[in-house]
Amino acid sequence: MPTVRHPWPHDRLLVEIVWEPGSLGGAAHAVVDVLRLINRLAATKAPTETPPLHWRWVRCDGRPVATPALARLPAHERSGAVARRVPTAYRSPADVVVVPGWMARDGPEIDQWVGRSSALVPRLQQTLAQGGALLGVFTGVMLLAAAGCLHGRRFAAPWPFFVSVMRCASAAGGSASDSIDWSDVPDWTSDRGVWTCASPVAATEALLDLIGRTALADLASAARDVLIPAPLRQVVTVAYARSAGSSLAACRAPHGSVERARQWLVKHLADPYDLQALARAAATSPRTLARHFAATHGMSPHQYLERLRVERACQLLQTTDIPVEETGRSSGLTSPSTFRRVFLKHTGHLPGEYRHRYRLRTLRPR
């Protein structure tokens, strides 16, 4: 696997979230949910250690603000919310500044928000200059543009406010030719320390990618497994939940031969691969099935089964204490050497290492 470059070698990060009553609450609280989950995952490995992530809230004028009502956490939950003083283990200013954006009707209203937030411009510039990171979500991208933080960088911005982005970038001293590199991706992008989201729903994935570039990459990857849709893992999980440990619940399969074959693979995930039996279940010939399956899923039935088995193994390694060898057998990879080889090919890790790095539950007492 490619080596992950960590902008911050230390494993403690302070995140600053810009908040006003008109801010996008969903995006802001999605950020907090990511931070909370990563802290909880870290606690499963080191329950007595200080949480790796701390966060604080600031107003548009840069002054501290109390935690928004929707973001207040239960007293019993250990979190990284900073109420008064930042622990000495965390740098100041913040390592990451998040601008979740505002609910605005039009460009002039965004201009008003950007004007009210002018005190934050030096803070954004300083964070970036000191090697930190910025995350702009939806209309929050406008403030990054006004601070000159998007000059020469590729960024994503909401299409209804593209003209406003150009205006903010131009007002910051850059011409359209050298400051506007608007990405046409539909969700989010990153470039040299700046993450931008064209939509509020992309905030979770963008922040996970940001934290994944730090020394907390393993925790971010484990959190991503929980928060970001994983179609294959969802398939095997639902299938085994329905089976209740014995057999799959009866359900009517769609009439398409490819879908019948896919469901048969899920149901017989742990059985030896048999193309003839698969073709019979799909009511077609092996050659025809192989051709149509590859056209639909971009891979052969055997390759699809192999990926299902790896996803099943990942699920067991992250959420159970089943021995590694038994995990392989339960996933249809009965030979330990084959299990290690196939798992390493798909994940870049050996099974035992994967469990150690991405475990989602606390170790049980022996």
How far apart CA 167 and CA 175 sit, in angstroms, is: 10
Q: Which has the minimum average pLDDT: 13-27, 36-50, 253-267, 320-334?
A: 253-267
Q: Which of these three, 193, 209, 227, is where a domain ends?
A: 227
Q: Count CB-CB contacts under 10 A for residue 360.
A: 18
The residue to which tokens 């249809």 are assigned: 332
Q: How many residues does the chain have?
A: 366
**Mean pLDDT along residues 181-191:** 78
217 and 225 in contact (C-beta within 8 Å)? no
| Inter-residue contact 199 to 140 (CB < 8 Å) | no
Answer yes or no: is 365 within a domain: no
Q: Which two tokens stand for residue 26?
A: 């969903």
Closest to 347 (Cα-Cα) out of 320, 313, 299: 313
Report which of 220, 148, 144, 155 is spatially closest to residue 181, judged by C-alpha positions: 155
What pLDDT, in 10s, does the model give residues 136-161? 999 999 999 999 998 888 899 888 88
86 pLDDT more than 80: no
Q: What is the 3-state secondary structure (H, E, C) of 73-133?
A: CCCCCCCCECCCCCCCCCCCCCCEEEECCECCCCHHHHHHHHHHCHHHHHHHHHHHHCCCE
Residue 168: its pLDDT value, please? 78
Give the number of domains in the chain.
2
Give the pLDDT score at 205.
Answer: 96
pLDDT-derived band at 9 (thresholds 50, 70, 90) equals low
Q: How far apart are CA 58 and CA 123, in angstroms?
A: 11
Output the pLDDT for position 179. 47
What is the domain range of residue 242?
231-358
- Tens digit of pLDDT for each residue in 15-69? 999 999 889 999 999 999 999 999 999 988 888 888 999 999 999 988 888 888 7
Strands of 96-99's sheet, edge to edge? 53-58, 13-18, 96-99, 133-137, 194-197, 188-191
324, 262: one domain: yes
The pLDDT, as a whole number, for residue 49 is 87
pLDDT tens by residue, 101-149: 998 888 888 889 989 999 999 999 999 999 999 999 999 999 999 999 9
Burial bucket for residue 276 (CB in 10 Å: 0-12, 13-18, 19+): exposed
Within-domain flag for 3: no
**Percentage of residues of the chain with pLDDT beyond 70:** 82
Domain co-membership, 158 together with 211: yes
Q: Clarify whether residues 179 and 289 are in a common domain.
A: no
Region 153-181 average pLDDT: 73
pTM metric for this prediction: 0.78
Do residues 22 and 117 both lie within one domain?
yes
pLDDT of res. 310:
95
E strand intervals along the chain: 13-18, 53-58, 96-99, 133-137, 188-191, 194-197
39: nearest Cα among 250, 304, 216: 216
The answer to whether 156 and 205 are in contact (CB under 8 A) is no
- Lowest average pLDDT, out of 163-167, 192-196, 261-265, 308-312, goes to 163-167
Name the H helices within 244-299: 257-267, 275-282, 286-297
Domain boundary pick from 196, 227, 258: 227
Confidence grade of residue 70 (pLDDT, cut at 50, 70, 90): low
Instruction: Answer whether residue 193 is part of any domain.
Output: yes
Q: Does position 90 have pLDDT exceeding 70, yes or no?
A: no
Query: Quick check: 252 pLDDT over 60?
Result: no
Residues 213 and 245 in one domain: no
Based on the fold, state whether residues 264 and 126 are members of the same structural domain: no
CATH number, position 48 = 3.40.50.880
Residues 57 and 189 occupy one common structural domain: yes
Report whether pLDDT(247) > 70.
Answer: no
Residue keyed to tokens 């250690």: 49
Same domain, 93 and 170: yes
Res 82 pLDDT > 80: no
Return the top range by mean pLDDT from 7-11, 33-37, 244-248. Answer: 33-37
Q: In this structure, are 169 and 244 located in the same domain? A: no
CATH number of 341's domain = 1.10.10.60
Q: How far apart are CA 179 and CA 321, in angstroms?
A: 52
